[in-house]
């Protein structure tokens, strides 16, 4: 087993189309060493179709029938992150954490506690909703049916607004980036700079883990 502090875990948290996946790819391309992406897309690719959107279940309590499984999906994902890190593999995970289910599930705190033995940089990926709506109009292979578009009567669909409102609660991060003003590579470089400086103490995950 590798020293837990010789590896790094980066969790990117933001709404769909905020640019998380592009940042994750830039980190994989530019950072030294192996960086394994264990984000929402890779996890949902392994999830049976009847249980989708799985950990991507959006805010609003729309699928109470799936909610009892979501904490277990997240727990399994974060245990996998811990195993990868314990073997010396850096991990980047692009996710959309929220607690706006039909009832609070406390998933983020549980996930933070599962990584208590590892250095974790928790990054808030911000993006104005106007930019997100513009990006939703751009076709993306494999996601053609995932994104709601604007109409003249409804410029911002309610589910999109719910993501924007819920995903950054409680908003405790080690750093934040705004993808409306920074490219994915610039975001990755800002993250690299923060890693060089060190994760603030106590880290965001240490603070979140203490919230019960």
18 appears as a binding residue in the annotation: yes
3 among known catalytic residues: no
Selecting among 41, 110, 165, 178, the annotated active-site residue is 41
17 appears as a binding residue in the annotation: yes
104 appears as a binding residue in the annotation: no
20 appears as a binding residue in the annotation: yes
Instruction: Map tokens 């087993």 to a residue.
Output: 1
4 appears as a binding residue in the annotation: no
Q: What's the rounded Cα separation, in Å, for the pair 174 and 172?
A: 7
21 appears as a binding residue in the annotation: yes
**Binding-site residues for ATP:** 14-21
**Binding-site residues:** 14-21
Which residues are known catalytic residues?
Answer: 41
């Amino acid at each position: 087993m590798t020293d837990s502090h010789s590896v790094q875990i980066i969790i990117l948290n933001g709404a769909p189309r905020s640019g998380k996946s592009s940042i994750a790819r830039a980190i994989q391309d530019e950072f030294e060493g192996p960086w394994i992406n264990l984000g929402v897309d890779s996890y949902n690719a392994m999830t049976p179709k009847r249980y989708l959107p799985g950990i991507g279940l959006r805010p609003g309590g729309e699928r109470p029938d799936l909610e009892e499984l979501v904490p277990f999906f997240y727990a399994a994902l974060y245990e996998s992150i811990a195993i990868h890190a314990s073997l010396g593999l850096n991990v980047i995970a692009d996710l959309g954490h929220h607690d706006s289910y039909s009832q609070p599930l406390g998933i983020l705190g549980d996930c933070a506690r599962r990584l208590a033995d590892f250095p974790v940089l928790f990054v808030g990926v911000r993006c104005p909703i106007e930019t997100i709506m513009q990006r939703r109009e751009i076709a993306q292979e494999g996601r053609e049916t995932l994104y709601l578009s604007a109409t003249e009567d409804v410029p911002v669909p309610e589910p999109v607004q719910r993501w924007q409102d819920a995903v950054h609660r409680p908003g405790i991060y080690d750093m934040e980036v705004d993808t409306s003003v920074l490219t994915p590579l610039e975001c990755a470089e800002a993250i690299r700079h923060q890693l060089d400086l060190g994760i603030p103490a106590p880290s965001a995950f240490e603070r979140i883990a203490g919230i019960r």
